[in-house]
Amino acid sequence: GQQLNQSPQSMFIQEGEDVSMNCTSSSIFNTWLWYKQDPGEGPVLLIALYKAGELTSNGRLTAQFGITRKDSFLNISASIPSDVGIYFCAGPATGNQFYFGTGTSLTVIP
């Protein structure tokens, strides 16, 4: 099946630093979604992207839909302790079957 690869797999950063992570696929996606999952909870939708090249912000979070439509990027500015969690990219592949990425685990050190 479709594989969405996320990198890095994990990150350890100091509070206040900026964070960048990305997601790549082997096939074209027409929608990219970014989710955050806290321990013991379901994923929470952060940002949705619907157009190649689109740049969308949600507070300190900014996500971009790659021009090739095979990748997407998420940036977090001025990280805070509550940013800790696992970040997933996701989207519908051709045929509309929905896939999630492998996840990036973020740890923020106060």
Partner 1 sequence: EAGVAQSPRYKIIEKRQSVAFWCNPISGHATLYWYQQILGQGPKLLIQFQNNGVVDDSQLPKDRFSAERLKGVDSTLKIQPAKLEDSAVYLCASSLVGGRTPYEQYFGPGTRLTVT
Q: Which is nearer to partner 1, 12 or 50 (CB)?
A: 50
Report the site for partner 1 in 49-88 (rule: CB under 8 A). 50, 88
Cβ 34 vs Cβ 74: under 8 Å: yes
**Does 34 help bind partner 1 (rule: CB under 8 A)?**
no
Can you tell me the distance from the alpha carbon of 14 to that of 107, in angstroms, rounded to the nearest whole number? 8
Which range binds partner 1 by CB under 8 A, 12-20, 61-69, 70-78, 98-106?
98-106
Strand ranges across the sheet with 71-76: 4-7, 19-25, 71-76, 61-65, 55-58
**Does 41 help bind partner 1 (rule: CB under 8 A)?**
yes
Q: Which is nearer to partner 1, 75 or 102 (CB)?
A: 102
